[in-house]
């Protein structure tokens, strides 16, 4: 078992292997389809950063440097004092972000991605080069995971809607499992290959 605190170093990432259990601590950011598309179009592949986006760009560069992005569409509650509380924070299926993820990892110096279901070859390659890892969160445990969120610090792009906004959260002992590591090992890839072989065997 590993306990990691953001910002995470390259050495700590290289020390992780597929199958390892990790407890994450520190400030991370949620981001799903709308957030990834926005980051690619307005930051990663933009010819220039628009003036109205510069502050957010600089903030995300700071927040995500050595940190983790979480594929999550939370259920939130706004408290009387104006602050926010996560009621449920389960992982979203990650493969939808495959077209964006490698570029986002490289541009923001991410050290990890949290989600469910795993990702593809482009993300695995980025994990080897960066280095970074893919963390699998427990599906169906949204309320339990929300208990790991100790503070909602702020939210960006709330106009995308609550699930698609970029929530900046502090987590304490957030439980995840490494399923894609920086050494080119993907548990998801292995399971898919085994499943295809078994299917071929059954159909023979």
Question: Which positions are annotated as active-site residues?
Answer: 36
DSSP 72: B
Local structure of 41: helix, strand or coil: helix
**Crossing angle (nearest 10°) for helices 98-108 and 121-129:** 10
* Token pair in block for residue 9: 């170093």
Dihedral sign from CA coordinates of 90, 94, 100, 105: positive
Angle at CA of residue 146, ends 140 and 148, nearest 5°: 120
Cα 78 to chain centroid distance, Å, stands at: 24
């Amino acid at each position: 078992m590993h306990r990691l605190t953001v910002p995470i170093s390259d050495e700590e990432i290289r020390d992780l292997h597929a199958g390892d259990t990790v407890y994450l601590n520190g400030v991370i950011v949620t981001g799903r389809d709308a957030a990834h598309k926005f980051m690619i179009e307005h930051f990663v592949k933009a010819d220039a950063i628009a003036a109205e986006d510069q502050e957010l760009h600089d903030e995300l560069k700071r927040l995500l440097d050595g940190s983790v992005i979480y594929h999550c569409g939370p259920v939130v509650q706004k408290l009387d004092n104006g602050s926010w509380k996560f009621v449920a924070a389960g992982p979203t299926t990650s493969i939808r972000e495959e077209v964006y993820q490698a570029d986002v990892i490289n541009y923001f110096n991410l050290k990890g991605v949290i989600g469910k279901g795993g990702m593809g070859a482009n993300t695995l390659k980025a994990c080897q080069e960066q280095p970074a890892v893919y963390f699998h969160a427990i599906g169906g445990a949204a309320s339990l995971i929300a208990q790991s969120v100790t503070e909602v610090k702020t939210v960006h792009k709330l106009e995308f809607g609550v699930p698609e906004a970029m929530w900046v959260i502090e987590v304490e002992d957030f439980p995840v499992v490494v399923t894609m590591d920086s050494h080119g090992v993907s548990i998801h890839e292995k399971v898919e290959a085994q499943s295809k072989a078994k299917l071929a065997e059954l159909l023979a």
